[in-house]
Amino acid sequence: MGTEELQHEIKSLLAKLNWSQKRLGSEVYLAKYDDEDEYEIKRYEEKVKKDLSRRTTKPELLMSYLEIISQHNELKKLDLIVPSYCRSGLLSNTIENGMSDISKLISKLVCE
């Protein structure tokens, strides 16, 4: 998935969770670090907001945000999942691409 698709998917999940982008920033910080430094949490809140609006944000970073969201208890309570296909390297490129396309379609259907 590209940057804009990932940003859209994250924003859609935030809406379903009733979270702000700042809340996601707090959750990302707390998932990565084992402290509650208020200054650093505020910095992460602003960083995540910018990451969700910039076209140049790396997809890998956005995928890490999706991973944090998908592991959160509040998402599990809503009985939602975040489908994603991870290439195995065992299948042919044609099948890998097909599986990836199926995963994208499922993500699109779930997040709309």
pLDDT digits (tens, 9 = 90+) for 87-96: 677 888 898 8
* Rounded Cα distance, 23 and 61, in Å: 17
* Rounded Cα distance, 57 and 7, in Å: 9
* Rounded Cα distance, 7 and 59, in Å: 9
pLDDT digits (tens, 9 = 90+) for 26-72: 999 999 998 889 999 999 999 999 999 999 999 999 999 998 998 88
- Domains of the chain: which residue ranges? 3-80, 83-111
Q: Mean pLDDT over residues 76-88, rounded?
A: 67
Specify the range with the lowest mean pLDDT, choosing from 59-63, 73-77, 80-84: 80-84
